[in-house]
């Protein structure tokens, strides 16, 4: 039980605490990136400040990617790359202006960006905006 999450945390150099396991499992079960509020709703037993602390640690270690959606809300998703902290797993996202959902466009990878020497890249935000297929169907 929980071995997948424990493995992920340990491989990222993070001590597997119960809060971290809970947050990681919840994010991993979600099909689309989740905001802090959405996580708080799912994880009723955890305080918002505890969840935020966990998310900060996980993003610092590259286990979780943080991105801003079209409204300035930060969304989080589990990094699926085995080589954390690189640009390998970075894909584009689509923000729907109607339902406010963020979709992963896993097939659209972000090209490697040659940053100037001396700079350290912490994240790449590639967010497309528009109306998603299911909202378009509803008219």
Q: Under the rule (CB under 5 A), what is the footprint of Zn ion? A: 77, 96, 98-99, 104, 132, 135
Which residue's CB is nearer to Zn ion, number 29 or number 99?
99
Sign of CA dihedral 88, 50, 71, 98: positive
Shortest approach of Zn ion to residue 20 CB, angstroms? 20
Shortest approach of Zn ion to residue 55 CB, angstroms? 15
Shortest approach of Zn ion to residue 47 CB, angstroms? 26
Which residue's CB is nearer to Zn ion, number 49 or number 100?
100
User: What gap in Å lies between CA 94 and CA 114, rounded to an integer?
Assistant: 24
User: What gap in Å lies between CA 2 and CA 116, rounded to an integer?
Assistant: 41
Which residue's CB is nearer to Zn ion, number 52 or number 128?
128
CB 5 within 8 A of CB 24: yes
């Amino acid at each position: 039980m929980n071995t997948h999450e424990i493995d992920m945390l340990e491989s990222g150099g993070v001590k597997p605490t119960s809060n971290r396991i809970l947050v990681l499992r919840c994010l991993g079960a979600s099909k689309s990136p989740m905001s802090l509020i959405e996580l708080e709703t799912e994880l009723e037993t955890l305080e918002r400040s505890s969840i935020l602390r966990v998310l900060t640690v996980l993003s610092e270690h590259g286990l979780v990617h943080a991105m801003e959606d079209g409204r300035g809300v930060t969304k989080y998703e589990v990094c699926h790359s085995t080589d954390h902290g690189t640009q390998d797993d970075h894909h584009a996202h689509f923000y729907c202006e109607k339902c406010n959902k963020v979709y992963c466009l896993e097939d659209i990878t972000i090209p490697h960006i040659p940053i100037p020497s001396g700079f350290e890249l912490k994240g790449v935000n590639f967010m497309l905006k528009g109306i998603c297929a299911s909202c378009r169907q509803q008219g």
